[in-house]
Structure 1
Amino acid sequence: MSTRRLRPVLAATALVAALGLTACGNGLESSGSASTGLSGSPSETSSADPSASPSTSSTGSRPSSSATSTGGSSPTTSSGSGASTTSTSSTGRVGRCPIGSLDVGVRSPSGGAAAGSTYLLISFRNTGSRSCVLDGFPGVSFVGEGDGTQLGAAAERTGTARTVTLAPGRSTTSLLQVADAGNYPQRSCAPTTADGFRVYPPGSTEAAFVEQSVQACQGSTGGSPQLVVSSVGTSG
């Protein structure tokens, strides 16, 4: 692991450009393996109630403290397996995916690790009976202390915003870069073990908690973000 400071935004942008931005319906296609301290096992959860503690089980557990959402942006259009931009409802429009109709999870891509960082895919699966839209960037932050307390700053965005329409049972992903806490001065970073991530689907004011043990800076990272997130419709 590199102990020098890095610029995660540039690393994430380079990774996205190299691997290509596509709407994910059922995974990604790349080689290698992501490493550096995060489990590759998926943790699935969804929540419409931000009042519960993340110390409960990963399925159905919720954060208690609010976090700054980075969701919502003027999108471009993208489509892929299980995702389209033409489906309509009885009103002639496809509605935004509500948090109650989404399973939100985190998994490791099959490739995309870089020195000093780990890359993860945040997955959003439509569990409802109707097609729905996800539009732009999710909001992501570390939470901890067993009660949903936000640790450090929310994720910064990278890349172009996209719109994905999910048919029932289909999914899409957003690429998340997590810089190693060891990249930052220990005194200012004040590293601690996070309980997981608070994830706001794009445009949502309600969040899901996804359990994931990872070292997070609860203090300052000196302007170099520890978390950088891409739009939905992005795979590694």
Structure 2
Amino acid sequence: MVYTPRSARPGALLVGTVAVLGLLTACGNDSGAPSAGPATVPGTAAPARDTPTTPPSGPASSPAGSSPVSVPEAAGSPGGATASATRASTTPAAASTRCHTSELRASVGRNDPGAGQENFPVVLTNTSARTCTVRGYPGAAFVNGSGTQLGPDPKREPGTPVTVTLRPGKSAWAGLTFSNPEISGAKTARPAALVVTPPDERDPLKAAWSGGPVPVSGNSSAVRLTVLSPGTGP
């Protein structure tokens, strides 16, 4: 048995206690509380970061395998919505070939009576320098010298409209027919003119009328109009 002097025992107890506390600290406690972080040791690597501390000076690069996100241009910027609208609005539209009122002259041809009917060709002539077209029925109305309409609008005879191409100086005609008032007994009036409106137009033309009295009311007073055909009459 080795004899230990009394003066040496307290020192040995102190060393042992320190060693036990060191082990308890390293293992943590039973309550689950987080322990102190690791001590910084000179020469070890720094912790990894999700992003660099200082942003790169060049353009940001996409992560490997990802596609760049396209950001729409603001309206009004070059190539944006405004530029697209401008391009669309400057696309030339197809020119209309329809004859306009200002390009036509109206006239009434010679009467071709038959079987108790009066038959007048209503002629539209292209007075412009371009080729244009007419299709369907013209509008028509008899008027007196002051421009007041005489009788109802003519009725449309059943027919198949065709597109009539009018080169400069060429004409199309529609048949205006009514029963002879002396035979039908209809009430009559003597027009000063026949107002003619080209198909799909709003502005009328005025043609002088020299065909005598026309029916405006009563029995068999209806006036009829046919579709336009090429030429100046039958």
TM-score by length of 1: 0.53
CA–CA distance in 2 between the matches of 1:135 and 1:227?
20
Higher strand share: 1
Task: Find the counterpart in structure 2 of residue 182 from structure 1.
Answer: 182
Hey, what does 1:149 align to over in structure 2? 148
Partner of 2:120: 120
1:104 aligns with 106
CA distance, structure 2, for counterparts of residue 168 and residue 92 of structure 1: 21
How do residues 162-177 of structure 1 correspond to structure 2 at under 5 angstroms?
162-177=162-177
Aligned length in residues: 139
Counterpart amino acid of residue 232 in structure 1: L
Note the residue ranges of structure 2 that are not aligned, 5 or more in a row. 1-91
CA-to-aligned-CA distance 1:49-105 (integer Å, 9 cap, x gap): xxxxxxxxxxxxxxxxxxxxxxxxxxxxxxxxxxxxxxxxx8544432111111111
- Relative distance call for 1:183 and 1:154 in structure 2 (3 A) is farther
Determine whether 1:205 maps to 2:202: yes
For the structure 1 residues 221 and 178, does the alpha-carbon distance in structure 2 shift closer, same or farther, using more than 3 Å as the test? same
Q: Is the 8 A contact 1:155 1:225 kept in 2?
A: no
Residue 225 of structure 1 and its aligned partner are, at CA, apart by 4.7
| Cα distance in 2 for residues equivalent to 1:179 and 1:208 | 25
Q: Contact between 1:132 and 1:166, CA under 8 Å: does it hold in 2?
A: yes
Question: For the aligned residues, what is the CA RMSD?
Answer: 2.1
Distance 1:164 1:93, change over 3 A: farther
Separation of aligned partners in 1, 2:95 and 2:183 = 46
Give yes or no for contact 2:215–2:221 (8 Å, CA) kept in 1.
no
Is the Cα contact below 8 Å between 1:136 and 1:231 reproduced in 2? yes
1:206 corresponds to which letter in structure 2? Answer: D
- Report the Cα distance in structure 2 between the residues aligned to 1:225 and 1:193, rounded to whole angstroms: 14
Structure 2 CA distance for partners of 1:212 and 1:168, relative to 1, 3 Å: same
1:9 is matched with none
**Are positions 1:221 and 2:218 aligned together?**
yes
Q: What SS does structure 2 have at the residue aligned with 1:121?
A: strand
The offset of 1:182, in angstroms, is 2.4
Letter in 1 for 2:130: R
Q: What are structure 1's unaligned runs of at least 5 residues?
A: 1-89
User: Counting helix residues as a fraction of each chain, which structure ranks higher?
Assistant: 2
Aligned to 1:136: 136
Q: 1:116 to 1:203 in 2, by over 3 A?
A: same
Q: CA deviation at 1:132?
A: 1.2
SS in 2 for 1:194: coil
Conservation of the 8 A alpha-carbon contact between 1:180 and 1:226: no
CA distance in structure 1 between the partners assigned to 2:121 and 2:188 by the alignment: 23
Q: CA deviation at 1:126?
A: 0.8
Q: Which whole-Å deviations, capped at 9, do the CAs of 1:161-194 have from their partners, x for residues lacking one?
A: 2211211221111122132222444xxx432211
Flag as ranges the 4+ runs of structure 1 deviating above 6 A: none
CA contact (8 A) 1:153 1:225 kept: no
Change (3 A) 1:168 1:94: farther
- Alpha carbons 1:181, 1:226 under 8 Å: kept: no
Taking structure 2 as the reference length, the TM-score comes to: 0.53
Contact in 2 for aligned 1:180/1:215 (Cα 8 Å): no
Matched, 1:160 2:160: yes
